Amino acid sequence: MRAAAINVDVDSLHLYYRIHGLDEARATNAVWERGVVRFAELFAELGVQATFFVVASDLERWPAARAIAADLVAAGHELASHSLTHPYDLVRQHDRFVEDELATSRAILSEVRGRPVTGFRAPGYTMTPRVLAMLAAAGYTYDSSIFPSPPYYLAKLAVLGQMALTGKKSHSIVGPPSVMWDSRLPSRRHGLVELPVTVLPIVRAPFIGTSLLMMRRRGYHLVRRVLRTIPFINLELHGIDLCDLEQDGIDRALLKQPDLRVPLADKLALFREVFADLRDGWGVATLEDLAPRVAA
């Protein structure tokens, strides 16, 4: 079976300030008001439906975000949980804290959606068997947190190590190193369907929005042949991927993010081509629709 999903993690700008140890009070709502809206417009143009992983507290914090989320539902997209407050150390927290993050985010998003939310992605892709079991108990039916990529894991470890050496504090963490060699294929675990983020075969290089922006269209054309060997593609992006530093008035301190170093026109052209390839070569559906069909 060949199938593909396109999903967008809606990490608001204040979370990027948190990663880089910057003042979160400087953050705007550009990810929702610009990035998410542009993704929705592109999906409408191409006739595909996607999954948006939402930090539920955003919908309480910004009325505009709640209205945009409702528009996504009306357009046929799936809302899934990216936790309540996006704690990077979620898996290290005590049970009651985790239960509240899972249950409250699901309740808020289900109200906006008009039916129960079924999917979850952990902050920073960090997941453990304990939290998977808690997800199942909370009523979720699938998880999409596993990112089995040694290059990504080691690069993240290096960045956090460098920050620590220079006295800067990041809220981000790394999970168990065993995730680097976890299965690339959908599976059933702890009562859930696990849908890993796609990595390329053999080298397990990331195939996500950030890596696409770094390789540009020429690089994408080089890996496209390899992609054709993968039966299930779970393409993960971030709302910031379709933000523009200048047009959206984003703080230049966030140029640390590679997503913001590429002109918006180039990003739109690249994603338009990638999404059309997935639509025509695999068929694109939401993760909720695909979960019961692709798990072994």
Q: Which pair of tokens denotes residue 250? A: 């984003």
295 pLDDT tier (thresholds 50, 70, 90): confident
- In angstroms, the CA 237 to CA 211 distance is 10
296 pLDDT tier (thresholds 50, 70, 90): low
pTM of the entire predicted model:
0.95
What is the pLDDT, as a whole number, of residue 202? Answer: 86
Average pLDDT over residues 268-276: 98
Query: Residue ranges per domain, the chain?
Result: 3-294
215: helix, strand or coil: helix
* Mean pLDDT, the chain, whole residue set: 93
What is the pLDDT, as a whole number, of residue 168? Answer: 74
Q: Which CATH superfamily is domain 3-294 in?
A: Glycoside hydrolase/deacetylase (3.20.20.370)
Each residue's pLDDT tens digit, 213-224 = 999 999 999 999
Looking at the DSSP bridge assignments, the partners of residue 284 are 4
- In angstroms, the CA 95 to CA 100 distance is 9
Sign, Cα dihedral of 10, 189, 160, 102: positive
